[in-house]
Amino acid sequence: MKSKTPNPPKFFLDFFRWFCHPDIREDIEGDLLESFNESVKSKGYKKARLLLVWDVLQLFRPGIIRSFSGTYRLNHYGRFKSFFVLTYRHFIKTPLTALIQLFGMTVGLTIFLLVLLWIFQEVGYDKFNKHADRIYRLEISSEHNNNMVGLTTTIATIIKDNIPEVEKTVRLRHWKADQTVLKLDNEQDPDFFRTGEIVYADNDFFEIFSFDFIKGDPKNALKKKNSAVITESLAKNMYGYRSPIGEQISVGKGVNFTITGVIRDVPNFHVDFKMIRSFKTHQTNDTWWYWAHPTYLLINENHDVTELEQKIAAVLRPHFPEGLKDQFTKFDCHLRPLKDIYFSGGEAQEAGYAQHGDYKKVIAYAFIAFFTLLLACINLINLSNAKFLERAKEVGIKRVSGASRSQIFLQFLGETSLLCFISLVLALAFTFHTLQWFNNLMDSKLLISNLLEPSIVTSILIGLVMVCLVSGGFPALYVLSFRPVKVLKGLNVSKGFTLKKLNLVIQFAVTIFLLIGTITVLQQVNYMKNADPGFAREQQVYFSFNGNHLERLATLKETLQANPNILAVSSTEAIPGTYNLADNKPVTIIFNGTEYKLAGTPADDGFVDALGLKVVAGRFFDKAYKADNLIQRSDELSSEPINIVLNESAVRAIGLEEPIGATGKFPNGGIVQVIGIINDYHMNSLENHIPPTFYTWSRAFAVVVRITPFDIPNTVNFMDKQILKLSEHIHSDIQFIDDVYNKQYQKDENFAELMMYFTLLTFVIAGMGLFGVSTFTVKVRVKEIGIRKSMGASAYQIFTLLTKAFIIIVLIAALLAIPVAWMSMDNWLNNYAYRVDLKWWFFVGAGAVALVIVVLTVALRTVKAAKINPALCLRYE
Amino acid sequence: MGEFEEIVLLTVAILHGEAYGVSVRKDIETRLGRKVSVGAMQTALRRMEQKGFLKSEFGEATKERGGKRKRYFTITSFGKKALQEAKDTRLQLWNAIPKVVFE
């Protein structure tokens, strides 16, 4: 039986009922049904349904569709919308406070982001290597040398051939100095380029370390002699967007390199380089000469490292040639995990080829970032509290109308969170613009794209949530403490002022602490830079010298000395700023039956003149005394004692009363005789002690030259030519000693500069917060001020009344900050062997600066308040 | 006032007291022989009601309407004035056409 009333399509009818505006729903629905029934009769059921569907779809248009807010449907859209509207209106109403809040938080977050990027880079060094867990660096210790990293080329070959646990080995040779090369792609107009630092490496380099090849074949890139792989940045510099593969470059005198690969720049590999050349270019045959090659091993999984160390030592020992065996009677191997290398600065003798980080610095920066962010949060809390107090009535009305506590909490939390979120967006923009500056200051290579790394994104989000919870949560809780009845009666609710005071104390304590820190760091850096190092720092250059050409050194020295602009030439390795005596395993010498450990340094007759040292007693090495020169000592003199020179520290350490002529002996029986004493000088940064040292006239692989201040470029040019004359394979890497020496303090200087900026910013943040709070205080107390004035108080009295509270806050902050600062700065200074003393004025000065800033900031508001006309503020009651 | 609105308004006037959704649509379709979309028509009706050309009241509910009431539209005096103006404007323009054009 057919149904009496045919069914219209239910789904579409429901759809219509859902979207249609309720005011017009009834009659249109009626119209639809009427037409449907009519067309069922005239056109049939199926067609009628289709027509209705078509009608409904045509009705789905603006004018018919209901709006999605403000209906009786139970959602929260309306409430959320009103939150945003309220937030926006309050921003507009108090733009200054809102801007101060935004700015403070933006600064805090920017510093947080920059430091976060930096910390992640520091901690992530070398971790990009896929096999990072299995890569170890071989270090060898003998009697004279501890954890020597520079090895001879044979060692890697022996290990590879004899120890199956070692999968692959790679030997490096690193040149700190860059080189000028000639591009040979255009014969008419060849271009010169500076290469940046250069590394020579075995072909397995790219098998062990995971570098991204953009072009070229990683398996064979370094197989042939005279092939080179360059980084993307160097490739862009030299060839633009052209493929450099197969291009030739020349380093002069017919030595041409072929470029076989381009790799992506890696900012966090512990060896810095722009160009890698095949190891065969550097040395074709393995030798036992020339200890200068850091060697890395890729070992199989699951091998006990200690066992392997012993095995390597056992395998190597019988291979040592006769001449070396007696130098390596004690002999240990150590495998240092790749991941530990970056933070192991100073533990091994590396001759400066590796870059190092400092855990202490990472922690220090993390603290600074944390405190800046904390200050920004406190600032936000203070200002929000002040602002929200004015909205007590709004809260009262809401509570009375039935808003729950959690709804109000969420509203105010949300308001501050929105602000934090906007600050984060601004901070990202700031970070983008300040990253270059920050990189220069930190000597780092951070990229803005690092911000997209998942671990960093997570940290930022966690940071943001914490900031929102802290700086939004406290004010929201404060708002909840308002009692609706009191508030609506118009009673004052200036509770929570203690929290505000506490916050101010924390802010200023941190600021004063940072200021004391900055003063101390600046003092220490200045002291180190300006202290007399004990040697003449100017007009000295040095270059390193290939061991294969030692026999020609004497000729070179003579040629150089013939130049009137060259004052003195000395072959020594004790180059200030490069050679760390403290790294050397001390040599034992027995004086008067007691063993003393002294640092041994090779020098020659020109040493004192070249470095500008003073002979305190006795004499220095001299050509006239044949016994001095150990390199050319004839056999008939072998029974004579070895002549040595001590420095003052050594004399003090040994306690020699008559040092000149005193004799001692090596544990193997060799006799030494002291012929002179030279003054102590700071070969390294003042961070280190001057070790007790003895000098012998022996082989050295570097030359120091002291020149006159006249026509320096020509003199250097002359030296360049003379060095290149020795051999076509030699590098000329002449550097000025004061440059190298001052570079030691670069990091300390950068640290000081950064501290200065951080301190300045925290002052700005704290000052702005204080400004906000004082504005608020004045506003709350304006009637009180009016009454006091009408009772006869002077403007000055009002001013002191309002300012006193803030001065007390600063004093309390200073009292808290000073002892902490004293302890931590004393602790920091103890890292330095030669340090400034903490003086009272560091502390008083910092406190005074804080006080002046506070009084000036507060005065901006209080002076105005003190001058107020009482009639104006008492008019409305 | 658009052309379609004018037609709807005129139809409401023609139907005089009998104008509701279905009747207006049917009248336009039969009289002018053009298809009318319910959506366009309903929007026009509501918009003109907002402008004050029309006013509306609920009428009776019938069985074939599923128990839903009709909404009857009537033209207001403001609506009449608007129609008159529209007509005058046209006439004015018609009169301004030189006779030559139609020759």
Chain B residues touching A31 at Cβ < 8 A:
20-22, 38, 65, 70
Q: Which helix (H) or strand (E) holds A180?
A: strand A180-183
Q: Which of A139-143, A262-266, A666-670, A768-772 has the highest mean pLDDT?
A: A262-266
- Whether residues A291 and A404 share a domain: the answer is no
| Contacts across the A-B interface (CB distance below 8 Å) | 69
Q: Give the type of residue at B63.
A: K
d(CA A406, CA A848): 45
- Whether residues A362 and A461 share a domain: the answer is yes
Q: Distance between alpha carbon A81 and the CA centroid of its chain, in Å?
A: 43
Q: Residue A14: inside a domain, yes or no?
A: yes
**Among candidate residues A327, A204, A195, A209, the one with its CA nearest the CA of residue A257:** A195
Q: Residue B39: inside a domain, yes or no?
A: yes
Three-state SS at B92: helix
- Whether residues A640 and A726 share a domain: the answer is yes
Q: Residue B12: inside a domain, yes or no?
A: yes
State the best of A34, A55, A59 to mutate against chain B, taking most chain B CBs within 10 Å: A34
Q: Give the type of residue at A174.
A: H
d(CA A399, CA A869): 37
Count of C-beta atoms within a 10 Å radius of residue A41: 11
Q: Residue A65: inside a domain, yes or no?
A: no
User: 């301190």: which residue's tokens?
Assistant: A759
A406-420, A675-689, A814-828: least confidently modelled range:
A675-689
Is A163 in contact with A311 (CB distance < 8 Å)?
yes
A290 conformational bin, left if phi > 0, alpha if psi -120 to 50, beta if neither: left
**Chain length of chain A:** 877
Higher-confidence position of A186 and A245: A245
Name, in order, each residue with C-beta under 8 angstroms of B82's C-beta and a sequence gap of 6 or more.
B1, B9, B53
Residue range of the domain that includes A23: 10-59
pLDDT in tens, A522-573: 999 999 888 888 888 778 888 776 555 667 777 888 888 888 888 888 888 7
pLDDT in tens, A63-109: 888 776 555 556 667 778 888 888 888 888 888 888 888 998 999 99
Q: Residue B28: inside a domain, yes or no?
A: yes
A383-387, A405-409, A468-472: least confidently modelled range:
A383-387
Q: What is the pLDDT of residue A801?
A: 86
d(CA A444, CA A466): 28
How confident is the prediction for chain A on average, in pLDDT? 83
Is A588 in contact with A595 (CB distance < 8 Å)?
yes
Among the partner residues B22, B39, B46, nearest to A58 by beta-carbon distance: B39
DSSP state of A531: S
Q: What's the pLDDT band for A637 if we cut at 50, 70, 90?
A: low
Q: What's the pLDDT band for A4 if we cut at 50, 70, 90?
A: low
- Whether residues A560 and A462 share a domain: the answer is no
Q: Residue B103: inside a domain, yes or no?
A: no
- Whether residues A153 and A271 share a domain: the answer is yes
Nearest chain A residue to B61 by CA: give it. Answer: A30
Predicted confidence (pLDDT) at residue B92 exceeds the cutoff of 90 = yes
Query: Which ranges of A163-288 would DSSP assign to H, the alpha helix?
Result: 205-208, 232-239, 279-282
Nearest chain A residue to B43 by CA: give it. Answer: A63
Judged by CB atoms closer than 8 Å, whether chains meet at A30 and B21 is answered as yes
Judged by CB atoms closer than 8 Å, whether chains meet at B68 and A27 is answered as yes
- Whether residues A439 and A394 share a domain: the answer is yes
Nearest chain B residue to A7 by CA: give it. Answer: B66
Q: Residue A662: inside a domain, yes or no?
A: yes
Q: What's the pLDDT band for B53 if we cut at 50, 70, 90?
A: very high
pLDDT in tens, A425-450: 999 999 999 999 898 888 788 888 88
Q: Residue A401: inside a domain, yes or no?
A: yes
**Among candidate residues B75, B59, B77, the one with its CA nearest the CA of residue B22:** B59
Q: Residue B44: inside a domain, yes or no?
A: yes
- Whether residues A47 and A109 share a domain: the answer is no
- Whether residues A364 and A230 share a domain: the answer is no
Predicted confidence (pLDDT) at residue A265 exceeds the cutoff of 90 = no
Chain B residues touching A60 at Cβ < 8 A:
39
Tell the burial category of A95 from Cβ atoms under 10 Å away from its Cβ (0-12, 13-18, 19+).
Answer: exposed
- Whether residues A395 and A460 share a domain: the answer is yes
Q: Look up the CATH number of the domain holding residue B19.
A: 1.10.10.10
d(CA A755, CA A749): 10
Instruction: Return the CA Rg of chain B.
Output: 16
Q: What is the pLDDT of residue A2?
A: 43
DSSP state of B67: T
Among the partner residues B21, B40, B47, nearest to A31 by beta-carbon distance: B21
Predicted confidence (pLDDT) at residue A381 exceeds the cutoff of 60 = yes
Predicted confidence (pLDDT) at residue A424 exceeds the cutoff of 90 = yes
- Whether residues A119 and A137 share a domain: the answer is no
**Among candidate residues A206, A248, A253, the one with its CA nearest the CA of residue A228:** A248
Higher-confidence position of A715 and A579: A715
Q: What is the pLDDT of residue A1?
A: 38
Name, in order, each residue with C-beta under 8 angstroms of A160's C-beta and a sequence gap of 6 or more.
A166, A168, A169
- Whether residues A401 and A303 share a domain: the answer is no
**Among candidate residues B66, B101, B60, the one with its CA nearest the CA of residue A37:** B66
**Chain length of chain B:** 103
Is A204 in contact with A169 (CB distance < 8 Å)?
yes
pLDDT in tens, A198-224: 888 988 899 899 888 888 888 888 888
Is A766 in contact with A507 (CB distance < 8 Å)?
yes
Going from the C-alpha of A406 to that of each of A16, A38, A76, A247, the distances in angstroms are 37, 56, 14, 70
Chain A residues touching B68 at Cβ < 8 A:
26-27, 29-30, 33
Three-state SS at B21: helix
Q: What is the pLDDT of residue B11?
A: 93
Q: How many domains does chain B have?
A: 1
- Whether residues A142 and A276 share a domain: the answer is yes
User: How close is the nearest chain A Cα to the Cα of B22, in Å?
Assistant: 6
User: How close is the nearest chain B Cα to the Cα of A78, in Å?
Assistant: 25
Among the partner residues B22, B40, B46, nearest to A31 by beta-carbon distance: B22
Of A713, A730, A747, which residue sits at a domain end?
A730
d(CA A670, CA A640): 9
**Among candidate residues B37, B28, B31, B42, the one with its CA nearest the CA of residue B73:** B42
Name, in order, each residue with C-beta under 8 angstroms of A62's C-beta and a sequence gap of 6 or more.
B43
Among the partner residues A34, A61, A62, nearest to B64 by beta-carbon distance: A34
Angle at CA of residue A743, ends A357 and A440, nearest 5°: 65
**Among candidate residues B25, B93, B47, the one with its CA nearest the CA of residue B85:** B93
d(CA B44, CA A401): 41
Q: Which of A339-348, A718-727, A778-787, B22-31 has the highest mean pLDDT?
A: B22-31
User: How close is the nearest chain B Cα to the Cα of A61, in Å?
Assistant: 7
Q: How many domains does chain A have?
A: 4
Residue range of the domain that includes B27: 3-98
DSSP state of A265: -
B 2-61 residues with CB < 8 A to A: 20-22, 25, 37-40, 42-43, 46-47, 58, 61
Q: Residue B73: inside a domain, yes or no?
A: yes
Instruction: Return the CA Rg of chain A.
Output: 39
